[in-house]
Structure 1
Amino acid sequence: MKKNTREEMIKATAKLLQKKGYVGTGLNDIIQQSGAPKGSIYYHFPNGKEQLAIEAINWTKQVVTNFIKEKLTLHDNPVEAIQYFIAESAERFEKDNYFIGVPITALVLETSSTSENLRKACNDVFEAWSTEFSQVLEINGYEKEKANELGESINSMIQGAFIVSLARKDSSAIRGMSHMIPIILK
């Protein structure tokens, strides 16, 4: 099977952004990590590192959005569905397997004042993830405006819980967030 150089560079960029951040990730690192020929970066990504980072952000958005969708469909009750998603996320965190792709929160903190394009790409990710929570609530009888408000709040709280869990090096903040869902959604 032929290796897709463009896709390998995007995945390598996502891994490197997770480990080294945007500033710490260089084009040579991406070439080395992906195994791509040196000239292929500007062939596939004429705008260089920023374009590659945006592609990695978009790849992450798709992968994680699909994960959220899948987990939210496993329960008919929206409270149980969201709690299950959070519990599953906590388990993945504990196995050091949670992060799939770019750590969006870290990247937006690092680059929002220096790159409007990266800020917008990160914002699109947060909106996509919030939408998944909003949709499950709307399907289950919440009015659209209320579902959108709750979906954004839930996603924001989950993002915050992950930050605290990373700082503590344990999943207690994530698990605690799960217990708040029935209170938030009553």
Structure 2
Amino acid sequence: MNTHTLSTRDKLIAAMADALQRKGLHGVGLNELLSQAQAPKGSLYHHFPGGKTELAVAAIEYLGTRIDAFVERLFSEHPEPLQALRRWLDGGLQQLEASRFSRGCPLATVALESGPEDVEIRAALANCFVRLRQALGRQIASMGYPPASANQFASLFVALYEGGLLQARVAADGQPLLDAANALFELLQHYPREMRHEA
């Protein structure tokens, strides 16, 4: 998002999306969001009458569209799915290391701190994860795996990525994510070929 050409509403969404990745929902205050968005006081409730929660839902939905675009671009640039998945992991680790292990996955950061009362936020997060798993499942299916297996591997990759990033972030070391990724790629490569082409 180019913040120089955005509306105040979009600047608030971009500021919240960035804050969710760095601090989570409860780690950022409204004044900080307004300052980062260079938005006047009162603008948040003007654009988001539901306050911080409504803004967070909008930011999560925005992040979901960014993830969709990222997946599409990634697999168009790297037609070999395993190569694309490796590139994804490399990019995630590079971002994490460049931020001195402060910027994890924004979806996971919010999910970990959400509670049963955060119905709208959890629904937005769940929708993003579903879209992500479905997009990955389609790509893995292109390797010849039956749809059920492709969807299972997609779910495994998302779980691996989120859990690996979490461990890497707290340890300030990317090795846990790399080890888990290498194990998954070995599994994918040696999955029985006759099972890949089951109806």
TM superposition score normalised by structure 1: 0.87
- Cα gap change, 1:98/1:139 in structure 2, threshold over 3 Å: closer, same or farther? farther
Amino acid at match of 1:25: V
Give the match for residue 121 of structure 2: 118
User: What residue in structure 2 maps to residue 155 of structure 1?
Assistant: 158
Within-5 A mapping of 1:60-139: 60-96=63-99, 103-139=106-142
Going from structure 1 to structure 2, the CA distance change for 1:2 and 1:88 (only over 3 Å counts) comes to closer
Q: Deviation of residue 129 (structure 1)?
A: 1.7
The answer on 1:38 being equivalent to 2:45 is: no
The answer on whether the counterparts of 1:64 and 1:100 sit within 8 Å (CA) in structure 2 is no
Identity, in percent, stands at 26
CA contact under 8 A between 2:101 and 2:169: conserved in structure 1?
no
Superposition pairs for residues 41-60 of structure 1, below 5 Å? 41-60=44-63
State the alpha-carbon separation in 1 of the partners of residues 5 and 97 from structure 2.
Answer: 35
What residue identity is the alignment partner of 2:50?
N
DSSP-derived class of the 1:33 partner: helix
* Unmatched segments (≥5 aa) in structure 1: none
CA distance in structure 2 between the partners assigned to 1:5 and 1:72 by the alignment:
33
Shift in CA distance, 15/182, structure 1 to aligned 2, threshold 3 Å: closer
Task: Work out whether 1:18 is the aligned partner of 2:18.
Answer: no
Shift of 1:140: 2.5
For structure 2, list consecutive stretches of 5 or more residues without a partner in the other structure: 192-199
Equivalent of residue 176 in structure 1, options 179, 182, 188: 179
How far 1:71 sits from its partner (Å)?
Answer: 2.1
- Show structure 1 runs of 4+ deviating over 6 A: 97-102
CA offset at residue 174 of structure 1?
2.2
| Partner Cα separation in structure 2 for residue 10 and residue 32 of structure 1 | 13
The Cα shift of 1:106 comes to: 1.7
SS at structure 1 position matched to 2:25? helix
- Tell me the distance in 1 between the aligned counterparts of 2:165 and 2:34: 30
**Equivalent position to 1:29, from 17, 27, 32:** 32
The size of the alignment, in residue pairs, is 186
1:133 Cα shift? 1.5
Q: Secondary structure at the match of 1:127?
A: helix
For the aligned residue pairs, the C-alpha RMSD in angstroms reads 2.4
